[in-house]
């Protein structure tokens, strides 16, 4: 079997569920040793078991991506385990609270921005010292909600955090080129994961939902949600040498959803 990231070491945030889980499993299948970083250690433990049952190697670290100490400890632990760090998938994120702006509390705003945007910054910041000798690949999970689709009403904090990740990734790509670290950002459309579980939608949300008008007799345009494994294939490509000249790019993985 082709091992596209053989003997490389990957640090994956949000690895206990959804896109992070699928990417961790895919990277391990292709020969990477993977650190599964997540809040909920139980779910990451199951991913670890699955990787090991297939003959791969994984460790679990219990982190909160918005906590600098836990982030730096988790990344250091990964480096100490295998003596290198090649791939960082800064993926953990939350939908947070979806509500009209005038009813968005500062606490809800901060919670979304801190997890999604500051969490990404911290992963990159603490990975650099361990990656700069040999170079590597950093992949950041944004969303089409941060780059080209703004019809998720009430998601102002989420969209702002996701747009911030895109700009941050592009700055990082330029800045880290001197260390041969590539940085790319992926923008998934709707993917079947557990992200809906902790989305808070307020009753006020219906005040701003604009009914979509379709020409008489036509069908509403529909899109199909993707599978986490379909995003994982893109992550593997961006992590591997097959994308060696790709950096600073934003790649949409949405089955054309954002064109509707
Ligand atoms: P998910 O809820 O299935 O998985 C997210 C994981 O991140 C969970 O295991 C959760 O415990 C972890 N996490 C959340 N906050 C954390 C924190 N503070 N510290 C550490 N871990 C934390 O959701 P998913 O859909 O796989 O989400 C992954 C990424 O994909 C997110 O950044 C999300 O914004 C993005 N995304 C998802 C979709 C979608 O439709 N599912 C679309 C576009 C972008």
Q: Where are the domains of the chain?
A: 9-259
pLDDT digits (tens, 9 = 90+) for 9-33: 999 999 999 999 999 999 999 999 9
Q: Nearest CA to 180 among 241, 233, 122, 118?
A: 241
Catalytic residue among 4, 158, 176, 186: 158
Average pLDDT over the chain reads 95
DSSP three-state, residue 37: strand
* Cβ 39 under 6 angstroms from ligand 1: yes
Class of domain 9-259: alpha beta
Query: Could you tell me if 152 and 158 are in contact, meaning their C-beta atoms sit under 8 angstroms apart?
Result: yes
Instruction: For residue 50, report the distance from its CA to the centre of ligand 1, in Å.
Output: 20
Stretch 111-127: mean pLDDT: 98
The upper half-sphere exposure of residue 168, i.e. CA atoms within 13 Å in the direction of its Cβ, equals: 24
Confidence of residue 66 (pLDDT cuts 50, 70, 90): very high
Please, which pLDDT band fits residue 222 given cuts at 50, 70 and 90? confident
Is beta strand 9-13 parallel, antiparallel or unpaired with respect to 87-90?
Answer: parallel
């Amino acid at each position: 079997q082709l091992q596209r990231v053989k003997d490389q070491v990957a640090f994956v945030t949000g690895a206990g569920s959804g896109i992070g889980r699928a990417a961790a499993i895919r990277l391990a299948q292709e020969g990477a040793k993977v650190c599964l970083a997540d809040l909920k250690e139980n779910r990451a433990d199951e991913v670890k078991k699955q990787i090991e049952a297939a003959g791969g190697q994984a460790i679990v670290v219990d982190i909160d991506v918005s906590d600098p100490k836990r982030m730096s400890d988790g990344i250091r632990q990964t480096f100490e385990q295998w003596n290198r760090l090649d791939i960082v998938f800064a993926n953990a994120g939350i939908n947070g609270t979806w509500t009209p702006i005038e009813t968005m509390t500062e606490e809800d705003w901060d919670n979304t921005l801190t997890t999604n945007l500051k969490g990404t910054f911290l992963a990159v910041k603490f990975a650099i010292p361990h990656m700069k000798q040999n170079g590597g690949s950093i992949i950041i999970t944004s969303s089409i909600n941060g780059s080209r689709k703004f019809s998720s009403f009430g998601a102002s904090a989420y969209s702002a955090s996701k747009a911030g990740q895109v700009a941050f990734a592009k700055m990082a790509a330029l800045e880290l080129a001197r260390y041969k670290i590539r940085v790319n950002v992926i923008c998934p459309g709707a993917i079947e994961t557990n992200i809906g579980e902790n989305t808070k939608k307020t009753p006020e949300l219906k005040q701003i939902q604009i009914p979509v008008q379709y020409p008489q007799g036509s069908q509403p345009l529909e899109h199909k949600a993707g599978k986490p494994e379909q995003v994982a294939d893109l992550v593997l490509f961006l992590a591997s040498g097959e994308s060696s000249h790709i950096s600073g790019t934003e790649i949409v993985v949405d089955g054309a959803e954002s064109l509707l």
